[in-house]
Amino acid sequence: MLVFECFEVAFFDRIFNQTDLQRQLQQSQEDADRLQRQLHEKDANHKTLQQELEEMRREKNKLQGAYHDLQNEKNNLEDIVQDLQNKLSDVDDKTIYASESHTRLYFISLKLSA
């Protein structure tokens, strides 16, 4: 009877270990499946982020080109404004000179008529 009991204990012990191992294997497989899904999600997110980064780089390059064009236009406009200010200054100088000349001529004519 003792041999039978030992055999019975060993048998149930072995069945329990096999069941436990099967449960662990199933849990490991579920964990592996979950990790695989997470990896696919992360890969998809990574791909999306790479595409967005490339789009942002293209947009940045476009904006830099537009910025340089606007900077050149601004510089040209500043040159035109400076040129116009110089011309206006010349006109003001000529107006003052003409006004002074007219005033001198007026005083000379007053002296001559007196």
Domain that holds residue 90: 86-114
Q: pTM value?
A: 0.51
The 3-state secondary structure of the chain, one letter per residue: CHHHHHHHHHHHHHHHHHHHHHHHHHHHHHHHHHHHHHHHHHHHHHHHHHHHHHHHHHHHHHHHHHHHHHHHHHHHHHHHHHHHHHHHHHHHHHHHHHHHHHHHHHHHHHHHHC
* Structural domain includes residue 111: yes
pLDDT digits (tens, 9 = 90+) for 4-17: 555 555 656 666 67
Residue 21 pLDDT > 90: no
Query: Quick check: is 112 in a domain?
Result: yes
pLDDT in tens, 36-94: 999 999 999 999 999 999 999 999 999 999 999 999 999 999 999 999 998 888 776 66
Q: Is residue 37 part of a domain?
A: no
2: pLDDT strictly greater than 50: no
The answer to whether position 97 is within a domain reads yes
How many domains does the chain fold into?
1
Does 12 reside within a domain? Answer: no
> Is there a domain that residue 21 lies in?
no
Report if residue 55 sits inside a domain: no
Q: Reply yes or no on whether the pLDDT at 32 is more than 90.
A: yes
91 is a domain residue: yes
